[in-house]
Amino acid sequence: MIKTVVGSYPVITGKPEKLSEKIKDLLGLYDKYESGVKRAVQDQWDAGIDILSDGQIRGDMIEIFIKKMYGFDGRRVTGKIEYAEPITLKDMKYASHLIRRRLATATALTGSPEKKSGKGIKGIITGPCTIASSIRVEQCYSDKKDKNLIYDLAMALRKEALTIEKHVTMIQIDEPILSTGYYDLDLARNAVGIITKDIKVPTAMHVCGDIMSVSEELNEFNVDILDHEFATNRKNLAILENIKKDIGFGCVDTKQKTVDSVDAIKDLIIEGIEILKNRDDIDRKKAIKNMLDKHVLIDPDCGMRLLPIDSAYQKLKNMVTAAEEVEREMKEALR
């Protein structure tokens, strides 16, 4: 089972200390967020995460994207929305560089290739409906539900997906608004399809909240993985019986500062796996092997931006420990 994250991590900003950094600061070239990306990657690596994120530390999931698109003045739509420049590419490349450097260091110390060479980066894109729900339409479009607004956002986000594709292991579309019923799901499905069409890396869609009323429709979206929260919405477990995609299994509460215990996380994973093993009309051992062959991704319920950083790190560490214990037990069941 792959261990990953949904996206955001608590923000740590740097201050210029070295002379070279102070000079950069005077010239307006110092990047106070670079240390935040470094800390996010470091903590995820040390916790044992397989597919890491850059931490999404440059703002909330809306502003990160709209501040680099044409057609926005803050959160106000003032013209036709278009892609202006790469949005997350810089941090994707820096996070990848940090991973390669850690792999090289580990290999040099041991004299053999580091076992964690399967590490990768997840590209994260906030979906068109979720962006539309959080902005104020003043010009060019009728309202937040205007299909032209949704499709223009989707076209801009597709260009971002194509820009980062060769630098990431997978691309995740964040569409939490879809659990609320606010947007027509056919419109949302078409928009997400614009983004993911012909993307060569695996694609995921994260929809948190209670998804019981929309789960069947989400099966029809053009993504490889559906990622949902189960720790704080345990009734979502029922959808596992009918889900047609690979699963992003949210098993850590990201709303509470209290650290989830290894046993609690492990129990939830096992509960989900029992449902998945009974879902398919196939041999039980084959069902277990399917899950070990990376058809289930283990991650937190949602982003961790609002948590204390020590709490976020320990939650990830406990999640990895729980997942590894479950995986070990599953392998033993195949003997």
Confidence grade of residue 35 (pLDDT, cut at 50, 70, 90) = very high
Confidence grade of residue 282 (pLDDT, cut at 50, 70, 90) = low
Q: How many CA atoms lie within 13 A of 331 on its CB side?
A: 9
What pLDDT shows up at residue 311? 97
**Cβ contact 323:299 at 8 Å:** no
Q: Which of 126, 93, 106, 156 is nearest to 6 (CA)?
A: 126
24 burial (CB, 10 Å; 0-12 / 13-18 / 19+) is middle
Residues 6+ apart with CB under 8 A from 34: 14, 94
Q: For a pLDDT cut of 70, what percent of the chain falls above it? A: 92
Q: What is the pLDDT of residues 143-182, one digit of tens each?
A: 999 999 999 999 999 999 999 999 999 999 999 999 999 9
**Cβ contact 203:193 at 8 Å:** no
What pLDDT shows up at residue 28? 82
What pLDDT shows up at residue 298? 96
Q: What is the pLDDT of residues 41-79, one digit of tens each?
A: 999 999 999 999 999 999 899 999 999 999 999 999 999
Q: What is the pLDDT of residues 188-240, one digit of tens each?
A: 999 999 999 999 999 999 999 999 999 999 999 999 999 999 999 999 999 99
d(CA 267, CA 247): 17
For the residues 109-125, what does the mean pLDDT come to?
72
- The CATH-assigned architecture of domain 2-18+41-333 is Alpha-Beta Barrel (3.20)
Give all strands (DSSP E) within the chain, no chain letters.
Answer: 2-3, 51-52, 69-73, 76-83, 120-126, 136-137, 170-174, 203-206, 225-229, 246-250, 296-299
- Helix (H), strand (E) at residue 260: none
Helix (H, G, I), strand (E, B) or coil at 319: helix
- Residue 282 sits at φ, ψ, to 5 deg, of -135, 170
Residues 6+ apart with CB under 8 A from 44: 5, 9, 52, 53, 316
Q: Which of 6, 1, 44 is nearest to 266 (CA)?
A: 1
User: 3 pairs with which residues across the strands?
Assistant: 298
pTM of the model: 0.91
What pLDDT shows up at residue 148? 98
User: Between 34-47 and 309-333, two packed helices, what is the crossing angle to 10 degrees?
Assistant: 30
d(CA 62, CA 321): 32
284 has a pLDDT exceeding 70: no
Domain ranges of the chain: 2-18+41-333
**Cβ contact 167:121 at 8 Å:** yes
Residues 6+ apart with CB under 8 A from 28: none
293 has a pLDDT exceeding 70: no
Q: What is the pLDDT of residues 128-147, one digit of tens each?
A: 999 999 999 999 999 999 99
289 has a pLDDT exceeding 80: no
For the residues 311-321, what does the mean pLDDT come to?
98
For the residues 79-92, what does the mean pLDDT come to?
96
**DSSP assignment string, 60-106:** -TTHHHHTTEEEEETTEEEEEEEE-S-SSHHHHHHHHHHHHHHHHHH
273 has a pLDDT exceeding 70: yes
